[in-house]
């Protein structure tokens, strides 16, 4: 476990770590778990724009129901990407889904990505093009992860659904985009990543980003 300002990173199995946490230790969980669609094998579109695809066929199946039970136990509210692929595992219905319009245009790729939430407000939509030259942050040369999401998207979620002083958890850190947004907005958070290569890349990404902010 390592701490960088208000951001704590943990390279380990999220189920082991969740079981060690007390009830309602976090105000908000924002997670992007495996969807079970084989994203680690993508070779087209943004799927080919990353430094590493990961090992052990990590996107073969979504998490088990026990994961969602533990996540609800340790967090007061949750936002979970890709739940339309495993809706039968979600514990309750939701009136508030988040729609990320990816600006993909006319092609065979998904126009949007959906996130289930535990909130009761209306559906929320966010637009951020994530294709072509827009498929990475401006300060980076390369994507890290095949399901990497924009830092600005996480900033939108934190500003819309979190309050100042809230503690945030992400159990599938991936590229670490949420860490950059949490750092920008001053949130304390815990990020967990199982794969050591993704963990190292997300860690270095956060350190580089914090250093760049320090310079400017």
SS3 176: coil
Q: Which two tokens stand for residue 109?
A: 């790729």
Q: What confidence tens digit (pLDDT) does each residue in 68-112 have?
A: 999 999 999 999 999 999 999 888 899 999 999 998 877 677 899
Question: What is the average pLDDT score of the chain?
Answer: 89
SS3 177: helix
pLDDT of residue 74: 98
pLDDT of residue 133: 78
Which residues are CB-contacts of 138 (< 8 A; sequence separation ≥ 6)? none
Q: Which two tokens stand for residue 140?
A: 């980076």
Q: What b/e sequence results for 155-173 when a residue is b if at least 16 CB atoms lie within 10 Å of its CB, and e otherwise?
A: bbbbeebbeeebbbbbbbb
Of 201 and 91, which is predicted with more confidence?
A: 201
Q: What percent of the chain has pLDDT over 90?
A: 69
> Is pLDDT of 44 > 50?
no
Structural domains in the chain, CATH included, are 2-215 (3.40.50.150)
- Looking at the whole model, is its pTM more than 0.85? yes
Q: What is the mean pLDDT of the segment spanning 172-193? A: 97
Q: What confidence tens digit (pLDDT) does each residue in 159-181 have?
A: 999 999 999 999 999 999 999 99
Going by their DSSP bridges, the two strands 167-170 and 26-31 should be labelled as parallel
pLDDT of residue 43: 52
Of 58 and 202, which is predicted with more confidence?
A: 202
CB 137 within 8 A of CB 143: no
* C-alpha to C-alpha distance for 89 and 182, rounded to whole angstroms: 28
pLDDT of residue 54: 62
Going by their DSSP bridges, the two strands 2-4 and 7-11 should be labelled as antiparallel
CB 144 within 8 A of CB 52: yes
Q: What is the mean pLDDT of the segment spanning 198-216? A: 87
């Amino acid at each position: 476990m390592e701490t960088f300002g208000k951001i704590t990173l943990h390279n380990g199995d999220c189920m082991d770590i969740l079981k060690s946490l007390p009830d309602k230790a976090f105000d908000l969980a924002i997670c992007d778990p495996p969807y079970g669609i084989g994203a680690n094998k993508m070779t087209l579109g943004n799927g080919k724009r990353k430094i590493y695809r990961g090992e052990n066929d990590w996107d073969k199946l979504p998490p088990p129901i026990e994961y969602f039970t533990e996540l609800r136990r340790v967090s007061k509210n949750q936002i979970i990407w890709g739940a339309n692929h495993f809706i039968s595992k979600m514990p309750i219905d939701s009136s508030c889904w988040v729609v990320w319009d990816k600006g993909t245009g006319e092609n065979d790729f998904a126009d949007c990505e959906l996130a289930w939430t535990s909130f009761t407000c209306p559906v929320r939509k966010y637009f951020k093009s994530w294709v072509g030259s827009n498929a990475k942050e401006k300060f980076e040369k390369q994507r890290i992860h095949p399901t990497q999401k924009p830092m600005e998207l996480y900033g939108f979620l934190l500003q819309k659904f979190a309050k100042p002083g809230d503690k945030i958890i992400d159990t599938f850190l991936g590229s670490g985009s949420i860490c950059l947004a949490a750092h920008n907005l001053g949130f304390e958070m815990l990020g967990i990543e199982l794969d050591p290569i993704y963990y190292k890349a997300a860690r270095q990404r956060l350190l580089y980003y914090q250093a760049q902010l320090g310079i400017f």
